[in-house]
Structure 1
Amino acid sequence: MPEAITTDGATSGVELDLRHVGQTYPRPSGERLVVLEDISLTLREGEIVGLLGRSGCGKSTLLRIVAGLTPPTCGEVRYRSNIVRGPAEGIALVFQSFALFPWLTVLQNVQAGLDAIGVPEEEARKRTLAAIDLIGLDGFENAYPRELSGGMRQRVGFARAMVVDPTILLMDEPFSALDVLTGETLRSDFMGLWTTRHLPIKSILLVTHNIEEAVFMCDRVLILSSHPGRVVAEIEIPLRHPRQRLSLAFRDVVDDIYSRMMAGPVPVVEGQQPEPIASIATRLPNMSAMRITGLAEMLAGSPFNGRADLPALAARAPLDVNALFRLAEVAQVMGFAELHGGGLHLTTAGHALTEADMAGRKRLFAEHLLRSIPLAAHIRRVLDERPGHAAPRVRFVTELEDHLSTEDAQHTLSAVINWGRYAECFTYDHPRRLFSLENPE
């Protein structure tokens, strides 16, 4: 692939330099959706930098901008002091999905990149076999992707990125599609190759939502906020490789990152009710009401007794970190829990929720839902005011899509439907796409 960069200045000792990068997209209403805002970062030779943030904060978008696949709306990306204006030779990307050609063998999949840039057959085959051997797939050259496990298919993805001898490797959650044990093995093998300098790459930019993975692999971690994505913290990881996950120093760094990420967009003063969400068009996570009440039950029970540090809660709850963050924020906005640093604890209303019978729990949930979530209150108000106490789904979707993407609008409305049904604030007929009140009185 030809290099598509232009020379303009120099930055000594920096492999990659992002300067005030921003990305926006048009909305149906004519407004602009700001995905990334004023992102500046550097990547130096010999280091792994991690991008941490919740789902939807723009991490993958930023990686595509760095790779030259998506032009930024503003700002610039410099690779070795040259402005990136398209896919650049020397930057390779490993995707979250395996993205292999199912009709090609392992050898053919790995060699495809070299063939695309016109490397002679003999040299391409030699480099391909070396990459396959390096990544631990020697003996599987003639196997097809369907014959391989998930971990082996991702190794093919790594080999395909390595074979072009990149200077910088971009990694978009490369272990997230694997089961825990396979991901752990591949992650450890990769870090073994990195620390012993067997890899041809000079620097790595890693996108992840896994805090322990970031601490295990990275030299620095940048935390991105959401809506829009901004760099809100930069954390040095002062631990030598190989890192021990169970060491106190490792756990301290993990706890610190949890605390910073859980500082959250909804600040809370001890003992005060959090402010309600300001707009009906605020993006909401599609978490079920049962999960919200289940979180309260878990916090109320042993060993937490009403208060838990997020790492401990994450270890006990059957949720990934992103889901836990979203669930904790919803519980806070609805007034059932409060976030302080890296801890989450039940409010008086949260304790009452866990102690009430089913009818009392629904009444309390309904009260907090209509007070804290404007979209739920808006739907209920429309249904109350209409003579037939009914309204089509499209009536609310149209309002949301003036401010949110179609996908976000659907997820947000689905979340409120779930919460409203549970609280018996309204009902929803899915086949007819119709909101109504079962009992208008």
Structure 2
Amino acid sequence: MTLLTVTGLTKSYAGADGELPVLAGIDLDIHEGEIVALLGKSGSGKSTLLRCLAGLIPPSSGTITYRGRPFKGANPGTTMVFQTFALLPWLTVQQNVEVGLETRGLPAAARREAALTAIDLIGLDGFESAYPKELSGGMRQRVGFARALVVEPDILLMDEPFSALDVLTAENLRGELLELWDSGTFPTKAIVVVTHNIEEAVLMADRVIVLGGRPYGSIRAAYDIPLTRPRDRDVPEFSKLIDTIYRTMTGRADTPHPPHGLRQPAKRTPANTPLPAASVDGLSGLAEILQRHDGHLDFAELTDELSLEVDDLLPLTDALELLGFAAVKGSQITLTDQGLAYSAADVQTSKQIFATAAIEVPLVHFITTSLRNSVDGSLRAGFFRDVLAHHYTSEQVTQQLDAATGWGRYAELYTYDTRHEEYHLDTVPS
């Protein structure tokens, strides 16, 4: 049975230059009995799509139906587990789990019985009276799962539910969740999980949907995962799927034409060109490694050499590409002439090359230009936060400004006074 149907979904936000697309042309079905992973790097729109499925935000156009019927507001067949746990700190574990039931008007006795059942199911017996501050990260996320499952939704939506946990805790919780799903005692009919981790997607999902985000989020590819669970990472089929999906994520396929009525942005802006979460040291280190390999490497060779996951490298490669220091084609990353010069230069010369490139990056350019046009070469951080808040979540705004602060400081374009939360031109023009 098809539980959710998405047809021609687009999501755009208003900007100074017109509509800024986040998602475009999304067609997707979620069926009973399957786990679907929405996979993509930052900026691909996967979390926005998940929130559209939940009815937390409306699409700009297109339709979403639950069991064949459109809905307004929250989707009645879904609940969501968030990355940041989102627990109410003044409530106990049991009270947190009962919140959703209370809003549905269930009597106290029925709420208590259902909550204790969910708490037992998710392995939290004995912690009913504990408060969130008394729990580890893994235990807090278990409460999030119990709170979502207690209402027995048709579809459980999960937004990177393991990314805030340490590796061992995430592995344990993911394994227990899959055991429950495979046991037939899981009180939902389908799961949709957002992740940026390829291995996690292949471990969990029956179907992996890969989203690309340039210049708008669209479905780049879909893969059926025919492996039986529990899945063995060491079998050739698992590795082949990882490699296939990873090449799709890292490749730069030709951008499809925008759906009818959705125009492509005329120019790059801070809204449609987000800064990757990459420090100057990180991107510089990657450039130096590539330089030592004659300026180019295959992603598989690079991840093997550094013993890293491709997810760890994507922000760094995106940063090099955004600065014009590298070009990515298929699974190959190659330094440009400018990138070769940057990676081989001494510190002062590399700073000059970096400054020339960074000033062309929309957010860095916006901060620098705004400071040059201010009365005294300084502006409060709140000004930039307010502008970015029209296009990003509060967490994303912080990430964007953190990256821009580091890049601008290294380029000696501006400084940042943490105590007063103010940006200043590095050299105030006379």
Q: TM-score, normalized by length of structure 1?
A: 0.79
**Range with greater deviation from structure 2 (412-421 or 330-339):** 412-421
Partner of 1:232: 220
Maintained 8 Å contact 1:50/1:205: yes
Partner of 2:275: 285
Matched AA of 1:346: L
- 1:260 matches 2:251: no
State how many pairs are aligned.
410
**Given the superposition, is the C-alpha separation of residues 356 and 433 from structure 1 closer, same or farther in structure 2, using an over 3 Å criterion?**
closer
- 1:73 matches 2:60: yes
Q: What is the alpha-carbon distance in structure 2 between the residues aligned to residue 86 and residue 404 of structure 1?
A: 21
Q: How does 1:317-396 map to 2 (within 5 A)?
A: 324-366=313-355, 368-369=357-358, 373=361
- 1:22 matches 2:14: no
- 1:53 matches 2:40: yes
Q: How does 1:103-142 map to 2 (within 5 A)?
A: 103-142=90-129
1:427 deviation in Å? 4.8
1:217 deviation in Å? 0.5
1:38 deviation in Å? 2.1
Q: What is the alpha-carbon distance in structure 2 between the residues aligned to residue 148 and residue 21 of structure 1?
A: 39
Q: Give CA deviations for 1:273-310 in whole Å, capped at 9, x if unaligned.
A: xxxx9546562416333222111123345xx6754443
SS of the aligned residue for 2:239 comes to: helix
**Given the superposition, is the C-alpha separation of residues 393 and 265 from structure 1 closer, same or farther in structure 2, using an over 3 Å criterion?**
farther
SS of the aligned residue for 2:140 comes to: helix
**Range with greater deviation from structure 2 (112-121 or 319-328):** 319-328
Q: What is the alpha-carbon distance in structure 2 between the residues aligned to residue 378 and residue 144 of structure 1?
A: 44
1:329 deviation in Å? 2.1
Q: Give CA deviations for 1:155-206 in whole Å, capped at 9, x if unaligned.
A: 1111111111211111111111111110110001101111121202111111
Q: What is the alpha-carbon distance in structure 2 between the residues aligned to residue 377 and residue 126 of structure 1?
A: 57
In the alignment, structure 2 segments of 5+ residues that lack a partner are 256-265
Matched AA of 1:56: G
Partner of 2:89: 102
In the alignment, structure 1 segments of 5+ residues that lack a partner are 1-12, 268-276
**Given the superposition, is the C-alpha separation of residues 176 and 409 from structure 1 closer, same or farther in structure 2, using an over 3 Å criterion?**
closer
Maintained 8 Å contact 2:291/2:344: no
SS of the aligned residue for 2:128 comes to: coil
Structure with max Cα Rg: 1
**Given the superposition, is the C-alpha separation of residues 15 and 376 from structure 1 closer, same or farther in structure 2, using an over 3 Å criterion?**
closer
Partner of 2:163: 176
Identity %: 43
**Given the superposition, is the C-alpha separation of residues 186 and 420 from structure 1 closer, same or farther in structure 2, using an over 3 Å criterion?**
closer
Partner of 2:74: 87
1:439 deviation in Å? 10
Q: What is the alpha-carbon distance in structure 2 between the residues aligned to residue 383 and residue 197 of structure 1?
A: 59
Measured on the aligned residues, the alpha-carbon RMSD in Å equals 3.8
**Given the superposition, is the C-alpha separation of residues 189 and 317 from structure 1 closer, same or farther in structure 2, using an over 3 Å criterion?**
same
Q: Give CA deviations for 1:294-332 in whole Å, capped at 9, x if unaligned.
A: 11123345xx67544435645776988666323212212
Q: Give CA deviations for 1:347-376 in whole Å, capped at 9, x if unaligned.
A: 454444333332343344455556x64777
Q: 2:232 aligns with which of 244, 258, 268?
A: 244
1:116 deviation in Å? 2.4
